[in-house]
Amino acid sequence: MFTVAEYLASIQANLAPHTEKLINQLKTLTASTFAADVELLDFAAFIEPLSHEVSITLFSMDQDANEVFEEEGTPGFAGSKSVLDEIVYMDVPDDRSEAFDVFYEEQEETLFEEEQRMIGEWFRSCFEQAGGATIELPCYFGVHDEGQTLDLKRNVWMDEEEKWD
């Protein structure tokens, strides 16, 4: 039998070994100069629920929700960059996969919200440890196409459309 608490503890345990790597990746960003057209940094998590994997990509954006790309002769970083390659955030033993599927289906809405929050809080903690507060641009974290975003500077979850205001 699975419980929500066990599920969340497993996610936390699976993310922990990747903390130092993520912090180091983020430290390279805090030392970066960004192109003048970049108005905010948008970190997007791509979650694969069937394989329980997550990857995180940085997108440099303008205030009109367009990605800013590097232009020859323009100083500073623009474009996208992987900050975390696919990692397993939840490990389900093969002999328990059917029971897990039933559990997840029964609790899907709650579990998905909680895993988003947990991955977001883990990312925010790594961002802070990497010196993210020194980045002068607004910075956000969210799960791709899910509607909520975490303002990494204010530590507030909000509708992702608000970051473009």
Tell me, what's the pLDDT at 125?
A: 97
CB 145 within 8 A of CB 45: no
Q: Is residue 2 classed as helix, strand or coil in its secondary structure? A: coil
Look at the chain and report how many structural domains it folds into: 1
Tell me, what's the pLDDT at 1?
A: 56
CB 122 within 8 A of CB 15: yes
Domain extent, residue 34, equals 4-164
Q: What are phi and psi of 161, to 5 degrees?
A: -65, -25
- Walking along the chain (165 residues) 10 residues at a time, the average pLDDT comes out as 84 95 94 92 90 93 91 83 92 84 86 90 96 95 91 94 88
